Structure 1
């Protein structure tokens, strides 16, 4: 499994951002190998972390080639003050305490 962590400092969002964001999410969900996402908002500032879960690196790369996703990457300065993407391969995942929600993507 692969995790893509998208860390962002939001800027100003307009209608075009929301339309493009919705199209990108739909493209992710339509990509074979997409497992889901989780979003966290920092309590002390506006920073947001979105973690996307992918079954394989090929699935992630397929999504990365989506035309809407490519367009959004070129235009990031219009909507974000800053962003950072980290791609991580999961070697092992374990734990307890979250019940049925412990690891919903595996």
Structure 2
């Protein structure tokens, strides 16, 4: 499993951003190997983390080829003050107590 952590400092979101963001999420959900996402908001700032879960690196690469995703990446300065992407291969997960909230999200 692979995690893509998208850390962002939001800027100004307009209607075009929201439309493109919805299209990108739909493309992710339609990509074979997409497992879900989780979002966290920092309590002390507007910074957010969005973690996307992928079955394989090939699935992630397939999503990365999406035209809307590429277009958004080229226009990030219009909507974000800053961003950082970290791609991580998960070796193992374990725990107890999260029940239906366990990762990856379903």
Asked whether the two chains share a fold, i.e. TM above 0.5, the reply is yes
TM-score, length basis structure 2: 0.96
Unpaired runs of 5+ in structure 1?
A: none
Q: What does 1:12-91 align with in structure 2 at a 5 Å threshold?
A: 12-91=12-91
How many residues align structurally?
Answer: 106
Q: 1:104 to 1:54 in 2, by over 3 A?
A: closer
Q: Residue 98 of structure 1 corresponds to which residue in structure 2?
A: 98
How many angstroms does 1:101 deviate by?
2.0
Give the match's secondary structure for 1:17.
Answer: helix
RMSD, aligned CA:
1.1
Give the match's secondary structure for 1:9.
Answer: strand
TM-score, length basis structure 1: 0.96
Give the match's secondary structure for 2:16.
Answer: helix
Farther-moved stretch of structure 1 (39-48 vs 93-102): 93-102
